[in-house]
Chain A
């Protein structure tokens, strides 16, 4: 069964760092596209970042320069390293799989909560 499982969320102070993990099973991350999408409490969905099978990475303007997406093919896991965290980064972070670069997200993880405190 194909599955994505996030981990690494927690409470962090403003200005701090955190690394989230997205472990895939049932398929290979190196030949797929994996994205991070977040949802602040009571708010809508916001795309954060994507890593394509060829290794290209892209970021939303709101996180560019602070977040870095990467993957470890040996662990079949995608990461997002978050630095200089702000209160407005507080959200549930989902990893999701786009079917093609311009495609829909056909698979989502259960999400991991990140809370940035002052």
Chain B
């Protein structure tokens, strides 16, 4: 089955830039989506199709995807950005389609 690997944690100071990676075999050939999840809440889509941003999501959130790594970049980090972040792809390489989530990254704002 397809695997997406993320760093367990990322720490960043307010106002700085956080970069969260998502590694998967040839992930550049897939469309990667990113979700933010705060404690006790459902996930919220923050970027889709590698770099699109849903309505209502600040421009500080941006995504990219190339080769074997997708990246979510949070610019000018704020305290409210502290959350868990998950990447996700749709995988059709096995005998049935499936949705694969990354292992998740906890972002801590110092």
Contact = CB atoms under 8 A, between A and B. Distances in A.
A105 B97 contact: no
Given A61-B1, A104-B48, A104-B88, A44 B99 contact: no
A61 to B, nearest CB: 7
A47 B42 contact: no
A57 to B, nearest CB: 10
- Which secondary structure dominates chain A's binding surface? strand
Interface residues of B, number: 26
Contacts of B101: 37, 44-47
Nearest to A43: B104
A106 B57 CA distance: 12
B21 to A, nearest CB: 16
Given A44-B103, A44-B104, A60 B98 contact: yes
Contact of B43 (A59, A60, A101, A108): A108
21 contacts: A37-B101, A45-B35, A45-B43, A45-B101, A47-B98, A50-B99, A58-B98, A59-B96, A60-B98, A94-B43, A98-B99, A99-B48, A102-B90, A102-B92, A103-B33, A104-B33, A105-B88, A106-B48, A108-B43, A109-B42, A111-B42
